[in-house]
C-alpha cells in the first residue's frame, strides 16, 4: 500500500508516510489518492492547493485557522527543504484542547494531515523551503483567525528561536490562546 498513517497526540492529526519508488532515474511517489486516504480514515474532499515559498531559515507562518462555516482541514507536504510543522487543537470539549503537536517534515517524505478545528503553522529549517498544502475549503479572508506562534502556554518546542523569527506583522499580532474564544466544538462521530 502506498500510504500509511500514524495518529499523533491530537485526535485526527495524522502523520502520513508515502512510499517512494526509486531507481537510477530518481524517485516516483503518489502524494494523494482519495480512496487510500479514505482507507486511512481521512475523508476530506480537497478543493484548493496552496504553495508557500520561504527564502530564509527561521521563517514562521501561522498558527492559522478559518472559522466556520469555512473551516479547513489541510494536508501539508514539503517539496523543497524542511519545516517544523505544528497543529494546535482548538476544539472545545476535546481532551487535547490547547495541546500542540509538532513534527519535522522534509522534502518529499511524510505529510501531515491537520483536521478542521486545529490551528496550523510551521517554521522553516532550511533556506529556500517550499511547502504545498491541500485544503478542503476555499480561502475566505473574512473567516481568518489564529493563535500566536510564540504563546508560551502552548509549550511548542520550536527548533528556531521565536524571538529571532522572520514573521509577518499580522502573525506576530495574533492573540494568545487564553484570549481566544474558540469557534470550534468537538464533533463526535
Q: What is the mean pLDDT of each run of 10 residues along the chain (189 residues)?
A: 90 93 89 93 96 97 96 97 98 95 92 97 98 97 97 96 93 96 80
Helix residue spans in the chain (DSSP H): 34-39, 169-172
Q: Which residues are catalytic?
A: 64, 133
> How many CA atoms are closer than 13 Å to the CA of 99, on its beta-carbon side?
12
pLDDT reported for residue 74: 98
Cβ contact 47:38 at 8 Å: no
pLDDT reported for residue 105: 97
Amino acid at each position: 500500500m502506498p500510504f500509511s498513517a500514524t495518529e499523533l497526540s491530537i485526535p485526527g492529526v495524522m502523520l502520513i508516510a508515502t512510499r517512494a519508488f526509486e531507481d537510477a532515474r530518481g524517485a516516483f511517489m503518489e502524494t494523494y489518492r482519495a480512496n487510500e486516504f479514505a482507507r486511512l480514515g481521512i475523508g476530506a474532499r480537497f478543493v484548493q492547493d496552496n504553495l508557500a515559498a520561504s527564502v530564509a531559515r527561521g521563517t514562521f507562518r501561522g498558527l492559522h485557522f478559518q472559522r466556520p462555516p469555512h473551516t479547513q482541514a489541510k494536508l501539508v507536504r514539503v517539496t523543497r527543504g524542511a519545516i517544523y510543522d505544528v497543529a494546535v487543537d482548538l476544539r472545545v470539549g476535546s481532551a487535547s484542547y490547547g495541546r500542540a503537536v509538532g513534527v519535522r517534515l522534509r522534502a518529499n517524505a511524510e505529510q501531515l494531515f491537520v483536521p478542521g478545528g486545529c490551528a496550523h503553522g510551521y517554521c522553516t529549517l532550511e533556506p529556500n523551503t517550499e511547502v504545498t498544502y491541500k485544503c478542503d475549503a476555499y480561502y475566505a479572508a473574512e473567516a481568518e483567525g489564529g493563535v500566536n506562534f510564540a504563546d508560551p502556554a502552548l509549550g511548542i518546542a520550536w527548533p528556531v528561536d521565536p524571538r529571532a523569527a522572520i514573521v509577518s506583522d499580522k502573525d506576530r499580532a495574533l492573540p494568545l490562546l487564553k484570549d481566544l474564544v474558540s469557534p470550534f466544538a468537538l464533533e463526535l462521530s
